[in-house]
Amino acid sequence: MKNKIYVAPMMDWTDRHCRYFMRLLSPGVFLYTEMVTANALHFGDAESLLRYDDSEHPVAVQLGGSDPVLMAEAAARAASSGYDEININVGCPSDRVQSGQFGACLMAQPDIVADCYSAMRSGIDIPVTVKTRIGIDDHDSDEFLTRFVDTLSAAGCRKFIVHARIAILDGLSPKENRTVPPLNYDRVYRLKEANPGLEIVLNGGISEIGHVEDVLKRVDGAMIGRQAYHHPYFLAELEHHMNPQVPLPGRRDVVEQMLPYIKRELAQGERLGRITRHMVGLFAGIPGARAWRRYISENAYRDGAGTEVLLEALDAMPVAA
């Protein structure tokens, strides 16, 4: 399923620990980092912000910003760190992002995004892609999306990830902006029909295998966000369904495969709860899920907590799980 199924960029969720864990569940899924701003890379600890494990490939870094010079600098750093793709965030609606002039508000200024794209591409040889919405506020039409995509494709961009709902920039929180504006897949399908040469990945509300299959009949890829985070085993089931030669891993085996990684991270000063918080959904939907979740939530943040917490949490569950 390489290069067809994607895990969405999610701030505070798809950090490197989460991505390491997801990679154990699915060898083929394309992972995306949380958004990293070009400013943060310029002024902050770029090495730590761009850190990832080699096992994460294929992995894209998502960048936020609207200053071509800073975006080009960020792209160069990301490319030299070895990422497989760089994605520009033109979909995030938060206030903080609006004041920094990036995210979804940039859909109304495609020339700025195209300038960033061109500056980023010169000097690197990995793909630069764009994640966007189908519109913003009152701009909820095929024409508006087409104008945006045409401007970027004229600059050379070949791959677009489209979250199939508009963003309301005034009055809705980022969370509401992921549920309140209705999903409209047809807009994304029409975009693909009008641009058969572009790679179009649909995002938004995908939570079942059949759903993924339907989407893949119409566009080039499917990006999954909340379902992959809350029910990470879905990634394993999806991988196995699409690639039957990849065996379905046991949930307990995945926990055991996490242990050496966790030990290594703890030795470097990381706290157990920072890693295990991404694993609480592993048993979601099967008996023992609550016991697992509760044991980890109650014990992983204790001072000195180590990998024994995970083994004890496994013991707290029915053997069948």
- Applying CB under 6 A, which residues contact ligand FMN? 8-11, 13, 34-35, 62, 89, 91-92, 131, 163, 178, 203-206, 224-227
d(CA 191, CA 199): 10
In terms of CB distance, is 11 or 124 closer to ligand FMN? 11
Q: Nearest-CB residue to ligand FMN?
A: 225
Q: How far is the CB of 183 from ligand FMN (least distance, A)?
A: 8
| Contact between residue 8 and residue 202 where contact means Cβ atoms under 8 Å apart | no
Q: Structure tokens of 243?
A: 């690639």
In terms of CB distance, is 34 or 309 closer to ligand FMN? 34
Q: How far is the CB of 222 from ligand FMN (least distance, A)?
A: 9
Helix (H) or strand (E) holding 129: strand 128-133
In terms of CB distance, is 37 or 153 closer to ligand FMN? 37
Show Cβ contacts of residue 206 under 8 Å, excluding neighbours closer than 6 positions.
Answer: 212, 215, 222, 223, 224, 227
d(CA 159, CA 208): 24
d(CA 255, CA 318): 15
Q: How far is the CB of 30 from ligand FMN (least distance, A)?
A: 13
Residue from 18, 92, 116, 157 carrying the catalytic annotation: 92
> Does residue 92 have an active-site annotation?
yes
Q: How far is the CB of 5 from ligand FMN (least distance, A)?
A: 12
In terms of CB distance, is 77 or 131 closer to ligand FMN? 131
Q: How far is the CB of 321 from ligand FMN (least distance, A)?
A: 26
In terms of CB distance, is 8 or 29 closer to ligand FMN? 8
| Contact between residue 31 and residue 10 where contact means Cβ atoms under 8 Å apart | no
b/e sequence 132-146, b meaning 16+ C-beta within 10 Å: bbbbbbebbeeebbe
Q: In terms of Cα–Cα distance, which of 49, 62, 150 is closest to 107? A: 150
Q: In terms of Cα–Cα distance, which of 167, 143, 144, 76 is closest to 116? A: 76
Token pair 């090495």 is found at 47
Catalytic annotation, residues: 92
